[in-house]
Structure 1
């Protein structure tokens, strides 16, 4: 079985690959996993540590061949606002709830959740159901291979 031993970011290769693997956003963070390509090839991803793969990245197989990663279409809400300040406030509310969000200049994409939809509507957002690739922001805790939530939402006690 072919084995993926490293990866390239999209800007590091010309997009030419022998095959493609389509994965949802929560499937693109992996270390060791069996995957199936669009052409039916099974391969084992075997990285020394967990990696967050993006749309257009490539897996490098042991024989040097490349398999492109494509973001799967997912059921999303497209959130738009009255203006940029309103959009920033909506981002704050989503971030305060630690929701995966793809933040763009004119819109925010989030996974569908009726409770969050209702909250955003009450804040004056416009919501449209779409199906599209989803590449949410990776938090600061995930940028160096971290995995977890390390800050306290409770009261902070300072000692003199």
Structure 2
């Protein structure tokens, strides 16, 4: 089976619609969410080719296949993350500036800044006394570097 477009996302469907279907999952590392062409295997052992026509990143909950009885859905494996929890706008600005200088991609969930684990960043957070924790957590989208060069 070759998938060329995302049908919808689980968040777009009514809960009853989802419950009445058998769900098969494709587990991806967050870094693979940006790949438009890849071969994957479902948790039931079925191989699927993904060749997206549109340049769109995959996301957790994306539906690759749907019929009256079945769904094939993207799920994301956990990432080793630093969850940064600044206490003030000063701490937020300080760490954002430091991470920006390193071109480190970040995501935000509520009041938390999420970055992929890096021991140098952990040492920096300890040095700056900015609260953080390290945990394995699923992210909904890939960590994406923003194209930029210093001219």
Q: When the two structures are superposed, what TM-score results if normalisation uses the length of structure 1?
A: 0.74
Q: 1 or 2, which has the higher helix percentage?
A: 2
Q: 1:94-133 maps to which residues of 2 (within 5 A)?
A: 94-133=99-138
**Structure 2: runs of 5+ lacking an equivalent:** none
Higher RCO by CA contacts (8 Å cutoff, separation 6 or greater): 2
- Sort the Cα spacing of 1:140 and 1:102 in 2 relative to 1 into closer, same or farther, 3 A: closer
* 1:48 CA drift (Å): 2.1
Farther off after superposition, 21-30 or 122-131: 122-131
**Structure 1: runs of 5+ lacking an equivalent:** 142-148, 155-160
2-structure distance, mates of 1:94, 1:116: 8
* 1:10 CA drift (Å): 4.2
2-structure distance, mates of 1:121, 1:19: 42
Farther off after superposition, 79-88 or 112-121: 79-88
Q: 1:9-158 maps to which residues of 2 (within 5 A)?
A: 9-14=9-14, 16=18, 18-60=23-65, 66-135=71-140, 149=147, 151-154=148-151
Q: Is the 8 A contact 1:102 1:135 kept in 2?
A: no
* 1:44 CA drift (Å): 0.5
Q: Is the 8 A contact 2:25 2:73 kept in 1?
A: yes
* 1:33 CA drift (Å): 0.8
* 1:88 CA drift (Å): 4.0
Q: Structure 1 residue runs of 4+, over 3 Å off?
A: 9-15, 63-66, 135-141
Query: For 1:111-143, what per-residue CA distance to the aligned partner results, in whole angstroms no more than 9, with x for missing partners?
Result: 1111111122222212322111024676695xx
Q: 1 or 2, which has the higher strand percentage?
A: 1
- Sort the Cα spacing of 1:140 and 1:131 in 2 relative to 1 into closer, same or farther, 3 A: closer
1-structure distance, mates of 2:116, 2:138: 11
* 1:70 CA drift (Å): 1.2
- Sort the Cα spacing of 1:105 and 1:91 in 2 relative to 1 into closer, same or farther, 3 A: farther
